[in-house]
Amino acid sequence: MLYDYNKIEEEARKKWNDNNVYKVSTSSIKPKYYVLDMFPYPSGAGLHVGHPLGYIFSDIYARYKRMKGFNVLHPMGFDAFGLPAEQYAIQTGQHPEKTTEDNIETYIKQLNKIGFCYDWNRKVTTCKPEYYKHTQWIFLQLFNSWYNKAIDKADSISNLITVFNEQGNTSVKAACDDKVQIFSADEWNGFSAKQQQDILMEYRLAFQKESFVNWCPALGTVLANDEIVNGVSERGGHPVEKKKMSQWFLRITAYAERLLNGLDTLDWNESMKDMQRNWIGKSIGAMVSFPLKNHADKIDVFTTRVDTIFGVSFLVIAPEHDLVNQITTPEFVGAVEEYKKICASKSDIERQAEKQVTGQFTGAYVLHPFTQTEVPVYIADYVLAGYGTGAVMAVPSGDQRDYLFAKKFELPIIPILDAQQNIENEADATKEGKYINSDFINGLNYKEATALLIQKLEEQKLGYGKVNFRMRDAGYSRQRYWGEPFPIYYDKDGIIHTVAEDKLPVILPNVDSYKPTGTGESPLATATEWVTQHGEGTRMETDTMPGYAGSSWYFLRYMDPENPNELVSKEAQEYWQNVDFYVGGSEHAVGHLLYSRFWHKFLKDIGKVSTEEPFKKMVNQGMIGGRSLLTQTNQIKNVEIPLHIPVMLAQNDKLTKEKFLILKKDDNRFENIEIDDVNWETDKDGNEFISLDIQLEKMSKRYLNVVNPDDMVSQYGADTFRMYEMFLGPIDTAKPWDTNGISGVANFIRKFWRLFYDDLGNAKNIDAAPTQEELKILHKTIKKVNQDIENLSFNTCVSTFMIGVNELAKQKTISKSTLTEFVKLIAPFAPHTAEILWTETLKNDSSVVDADFPTHDEQYLVESTFTYPIQINGKHRTNIELPVDMENEEIQNIVLADETVQKFTENKEPKKFIVVKGRIVNVVV
RNA sequence: GCCCGGGUGGUGGAAUGGUAGACACGCAGGACUUAAAAUCCUGUGACUUCACGGUUGUGCGGGUUCGAGUCCCGCCCCGGGUACCA
């Protein structure tokens, strides 16, 4: 048999299909193992070679685990709601459902060519009603729940109402809004339905509140941060402002502590956990109230450094702070309005990244809670409305931003600790030393001062100690079409009603236009009949859910994908538990991964799942970047700027004359360039070409550097493609795609095949008994591959295979038993080739997919001698081969007597003689 | 700005604190061939030497160590995230 990869791979896939090899059952006596990839968003551009990197990686691991005796769940699906489909719909008028379906079909075709061991019967698609029915169901549970701190888990709203009816809310310990009013049972029962609804909103895990969105008046729509570039809309460059709208939120902050603590139980990268920890941002500090001068209200401030309170020389509040309008004195109204306008045009990132110090005095003063001195109140862009209370107490001597602000506005800089240094030039945030200029805490240290201050604040009702989280509640409303509709409607009094669970799903209606309505409402608002489906005067919620809704629980659905009654059955969930091995990009570190953990914990609280965490082990694959090719200057007459050349046309970063002619025909940039305008180089065979410059950029159509996996598979075969993707480097580092190297892997697979068949396709004689040398090669390879798979170092596995095959190819004879082990060893990496060799060449009955993975036998690897590298003063000078069991003293004698060693030691007595057994010898003179 | 990664030949990369550059690509030379393809062999960090060899070398500057790509301190550059891209 010749190595015809097309034929071989097609045949292998047919065998797998015919025998349903990848069908996964939920009942097995084998231990379960769940290997999952982050499912893709099916974009119109199809897959490029960057996408399958993680999929191949996890596929190899899944196959390896299966060969190790596990019942492996390794599914795939599609995260199918999202902005790009909607933008495409706006441009073309095509229904996003249609384009999404087409894209999914393309993705599946592309994926199937690579030979993944997916059980497609378990495919999930988030935009299908059968799926989002359960997304809506989860939302209803969140809506009908509150976080009961007394039991430290979610509790039902009906329980809360019972408590309110009987005792009011004085004894309720809930994760809820800070400013909840206190009421008795009688008061509660006297409230109107609307009042009760508003109060319950402050407890629900899915709740509504006013918040700011990016409003673009010119486009008449709310924009995603992604759609804003330099403060203006990406489309059209129109100004964007902050607009207050009523929005749905999820109270993820209720779970902050559990999300933080849960990280300690997870087998994730420390860096990934750090990102989540920082995102959650737990800080222990205090709330302090600063009463306003000549005004009934007060400004609340959260600080982690209450000890610096006597260093406060001004207060800064966010320009959007509720109190700004009320406290600004008439002479500053104009300037404050002007400043607010400037801030509204900037994104939060821009505001925080801003190096220039800006701000505006409001004319108002607060009174220092302890000293009663007047403290001026400013607004400034570095304080964000959504963080903490949207107000900070500024201590210039201890905080650099405050310091710069104080310098600019000539405000006092008061040293507060005797250990503070250099504060003529910059702030010093130290906690060392004793307090000065600080009234009753003078002379105390940090710990004593903090405790005393919090005690005084609480005594005098000026504040209290508080744990604060940087994490905010998660915005859950999108004014978009292509997302899950909310199972919510409003009656004519504005009272919220939920759609009954047995009426789910609430189907996304068809609309005439996907274009923005201009009012800020989503396009759903134009589906009049749908909006009023619950009777005259009622209104369906027309916002839709965000992208992370469907992706926050999809991993559960694979366990029981067709269940119409519930998101996952108890049996299926209890068998599969949670994901053992999750592969995806680190760009999801704080988005998807945090939201999923939150939902999972909630589902555990309401008894839907039995595990506290969704993903036990997490591996991040690095991004594959593009490698663009550009013409060099002076290569083409009258063309000064480098031109991108399609990477698929070039070979070894060269463009031949022949390919140039294709380009001239197909690409209008080259229409007017004549062959003679090009400065051709000539190789030794007389072929003319130009050498191209390399530039690393994103893989993108516009750089002509996109490489399609289909092309790779058709040119080299899926097995070569799979192994080359792994060979590129460690899974977790970012790297550019370079097709040039793939021939090395292609050569390797052919060389491997030639262990079985000669150049004419005749089977080789493999009847000889294995030699010692052969067994050593085999077991060395088995040992290293097992180690490297466990360490997830698949690139070195491929190298190890290459070394093994190179060495075996040099042997005079190779035995069938050696080849059998080798085929099993390589099967996870090159499954098609392995399958055909396994069944047709080695005549096994069942698939190699279910063969047992080889383990090595140490007896073939024992060596009697070791070649010691000899260092003199840490520099490698020579090698000496010595028996492995030789004593140090004897080694020393032999080494010192060595000619080369003597040359370097010049017969001086060694100061030190270091022997690391089986590693190295170092002579220090 | 803040948080998290990364930086080793012409290229992708390898290296439990122990011979830096495994394995490949590319390049150069050679074998086979009418020729090409395929295959095989040899060389390939830089500088220096006829050669043996020597010097130097893992982004930059310091440090710890018998020994540092690896550990510590301070910089520079690049990538990801930054709450409505997914």
What CATH number corresponds to the domain at position A301?
A: 3.90.740.10
Give pLDDT, residue A658: 84
Distance of C1' in B56 from CA in A759, Å: 47
Position A537 pLDDT exceeds 70: yes
Backbone angles phi, psi at A271, to 5 degrees: -65, -35
Q: Other C-beta atoms within 10 Å of A12: how many?
A: 26
User: Closest nucleotide to A78's CA, by C1' atom?
Assistant: B86
User: Closest nucleotide to A469's CA, by C1' atom?
Assistant: B83
**DSSP letter string over A80-136?**
---HHHHHHHHHH---HHHHHHHHHHHHHHHHHTTT----GGG--BTTSHHHHHHHH
User: Closest nucleotide to A354's CA, by C1' atom?
Assistant: B1
User: Closest nucleotide to A919's CA, by C1' atom?
Assistant: B18
User: Closest nucleotide to A348's CA, by C1' atom?
Assistant: B82
Task: Identify the weakest region by mean pLDDT among A263-267, A315-319, A381-385, A876-880.
Answer: A381-385
Quote the DSSP letter at residue A733.
S
Do A823 and A899 belong together in one domain?
A: no
pLDDT in tens, A94-106: 999 999 999 999 9
**DSSP letter string over A208-272?**
EEEEEEEEETTTTEEE-GGGEETTEETTTT-B-EEEEEEEEEE-GGGGHHHHHHHGGG-BS-HHH
Nearest residue to A798 via CA among A741, A878, A759, A857: A741
How many structural domains is chain A composed of?
4
Angle formed by the axes of helices A129-143 and A592-605, nearest 10°: 70
Q: A306 lies in a domain?
A: yes
Please name the residue ranges forming H helices in A791-905.
Answer: 794-809, 816-826, 831-836, 888-897, 899-905
Question: In the beta sheet, which residues pair with residue A247?
Answer: A209
Helix (H) or strand (E) holding A911: none
Per mean pLDDT, which of A420-434, A529-543, A636-650, A664-678 is the most reliable?
Answer: A529-543
Torsion sign over Cα A882, A883, A884, A887 = negative
Out of A442, A469, A496, pick the residue that ends a domain: A469
Q: A236 lies in a domain?
A: no
Structure tokens at A109: 């075709």
Give pLDDT, residue A524: 94
pLDDT in tens, A601-652: 999 999 999 999 999 999 999 888 888 888 887 788 888 788 888 888 888 8
User: Closest nucleotide to A806's CA, by C1' atom?
Assistant: B23
Do A772 and A655 belong together in one domain?
A: no
What CATH number corresponds to the domain at position A827?
A: 1.10.730.10
User: Closest nucleotide to A588's CA, by C1' atom?
Assistant: B81
Give pLDDT, residue A864: 86
Do A646 and A789 belong together in one domain?
A: no
pLDDT in tens, A380-435: 888 887 777 889 999 988 887 888 888 889 999 888 888 777 777 777 777 878 88
Q: Which residues contact A257 (CB under 8 A, 6 or more apart)?
A: A282
Helix (H) or strand (E) holding A836: helix A831-836
Task: Report which residue is nearest nucleotide B13 when distances run from CA to C1'.
Answer: A729
Positions on chain B within 7 A of a protein C-beta: 1-6, 11-16, 18-20, 22-29, 38-41, 54-55, 66-68, 79-86
Q: A168 lies in a domain?
A: no
Distance of C1' in B75 from CA in A557, Å: 50
Helix (H) or strand (E) holding A315: strand A314-317
Torsion sign over Cα A81, A86, A89, A91 = negative
Task: Identify the weakest region by mean pLDDT among A5-19, A388-402, A738-752.
Answer: A388-402
Distance separating the N- and C-terminal Cα atoms of chain A: 63
Give pLDDT, residue A242: 82
Position A353 pLDDT exceeds 80: no
pLDDT in tens, A18-29: 999 999 999 888
Structure tokens at A537: 């005067």
Tell me which amino acid residue A273 is.
Answer: K
Quote the DSSP letter at residue A546.
-
Question: In the beta sheet, which residues pair with residue A73?
Answer: A34
Contact A79, A36 (CB under 8 A): no
Distance of C1' in B1 from CA in A637, Å: 46
Task: Identify the weakest region by mean pLDDT among A241-245, A349-353, A382-386, A518-522.
Answer: A349-353
Phi-psi label, residue A550: left if phi above 0, alpha if psi -120 to 50, beta otherwise:
alpha
Q: Other C-beta atoms within 10 Å of A30: how many?
A: 12
Give pLDDT, residue A874: 85
Nearest residue to A481 via CA among A522, A519, A449: A522
User: Closest nucleotide to A916's CA, by C1' atom?
Assistant: B18
Helix (H) or strand (E) holding A597: helix A592-605
Distance of C1' in B58 from CA in A744, Å: 25
A355 pLDDT band, cuts 50/70/90, is low
Position A360 pLDDT exceeds 80: yes
User: Closest nucleotide to A921's CA, by C1' atom?
Assistant: B18
Do A713 and A782 belong together in one domain?
A: no
Contact A413, A403 (CB under 8 A): yes
Per mean pLDDT, which of A103-117, A295-309, A644-658, A698-712 is the most reliable?
Answer: A103-117
Q: A228 lies in a domain?
A: no
Contact A914, A924 (CB under 8 A): yes
Give pLDDT, residue A684: 67
* CA trace torsion A83, A87, A89, A92 (10° rounding): -160
Bridge-based pairing of strands A463-469 and A474-475 is: unpaired
Q: Which residues contact A136 (CB under 8 A, 6 or more apart)?
A: A484, A485, A486, A487, A499, A504, A505, A506
Do A852 and A869 belong together in one domain?
A: no
Distance of C1' in B79 from CA in A585, Å: 13
Do A353 and A448 belong together in one domain?
A: yes
Question: How far, in Å, are A510, A622, A753 from residue A517 at the CA level?
Answer: 15, 40, 62
Distance of C1' in B15 from CA in A64, Å: 26
Predicted complex ipTM exceeds 0.90: yes
Backbone angles phi, psi at A923, to 5 degrees: -105, 125
Do A705 and A760 belong together in one domain?
A: no
- At which residue do the structure tokens 């380009």 appear? A663
Do A328 and A371 belong together in one domain?
A: yes
Tell me which amino acid residue A893 is.
Answer: N
pLDDT in tens, A756-778: 998 888 899 888 899 999 999 99
> For chain A, what is the mean pLDDT?
91
User: Closest nucleotide to A477's CA, by C1' atom?
Assistant: B84
Distance of C1' in B53 from CA in A910, Å: 24
User: Closest nucleotide to A741's CA, by C1' atom?
Assistant: B25
Q: A203 lies in a domain?
A: no
Cis peptide before A516 (omega within 30 of 0): no
Q: A519 lies in a domain?
A: no
Q: Is A869 helix (H, G, I), strand (E, B) or coil?
A: strand
Distance of C1' in B2 from CA in A414, Å: 26
Do A678 and A803 belong together in one domain?
A: no
Task: Report which residue is nearest nucleotide B86 when distances run from CA to C1'.
Answer: A41
Out of A856, A886, A904, pick the residue that ends a domain: A856
Distance of C1' in B55 from CA in A901, Å: 19
Give pLDDT, residue A354: 66
Q: A96 lies in a domain?
A: no
Distance of C1' in B60 from CA in A89, Å: 51
- At which residue do the structure tokens 């396009």 appear? A523
Domain range spanning residue A786? 754-856
Q: Quote the CA–CA distance of A456 and A453 in Å, as a whole number.
A: 5
Q: A649 lies in a domain?
A: yes
A668 pLDDT band, cuts 50/70/90, is confident
User: Closest nucleotide to A212's CA, by C1' atom?
Assistant: B84
% of chain A at pLDDT higher than 70: 99
Task: Report which residue is nearest nucleotide B82 when distances run from CA to C1'.
Answer: A349
Task: Report which residue is nearest nucleotide B38 when distances run from CA to C1'.
Answer: A759
Tell me which amino acid residue A642 is.
Answer: P
Q: For the residues A811-826, what does the mean pLDDT come to?
A: 94
Do A846 and A898 belong together in one domain?
A: no
Distance of C1' in B52 from CA in A877, Å: 14
Surface-to-core class of residue A68, CB atoms within 10 Å of its CB (0-12 exposed, 13-18 middle, 19+ buried): middle
Do A428 and A295 belong together in one domain?
A: yes
pLDDT in tens, A555-606: 999 999 999 999 999 999 999 999 999 999 888 888 899 999 999 999 999 9
What CATH number corresponds to the domain at position A888?
A: 3.10.20.590
Distance of C1' in B3 from CA in A587, Å: 12
Distance of C1' in B35 from CA in A666, Å: 33
pLDDT in tens, A116-141: 999 999 999 999 999 999 999 999 99
Task: Report which residue is nearest nucleotide B53 when distances run from CA to C1'.
Answer: A877
pLDDT in tens, A429-453: 778 788 889 989 898 888 888 889 9
Out of A826, A856, A886, pick the residue that ends a domain: A856
Helix (H) or strand (E) holding A640: none
% of chain A at pLDDT higher than 90: 57
Task: Identify the weakest region by mean pLDDT among A79-93, A106-120, A908-922.
Answer: A908-922
Distance of C1' in B24 from CA in A44, Å: 34
Give pLDDT, residue A375: 93
Task: Report which residue is nearest nucleotide B84 when distances run from CA to C1'.
Answer: A224
Do A801 and A889 belong together in one domain?
A: no
Question: In the beta sheet, which residues pair with residue A868?
Answer: A880
Nearest residue to A543 via CA among A565, A517, A582, A513: A517
Distance of C1' in B45 from CA in A878, Å: 21
Distance of C1' in B81 from CA in A792, Å: 24
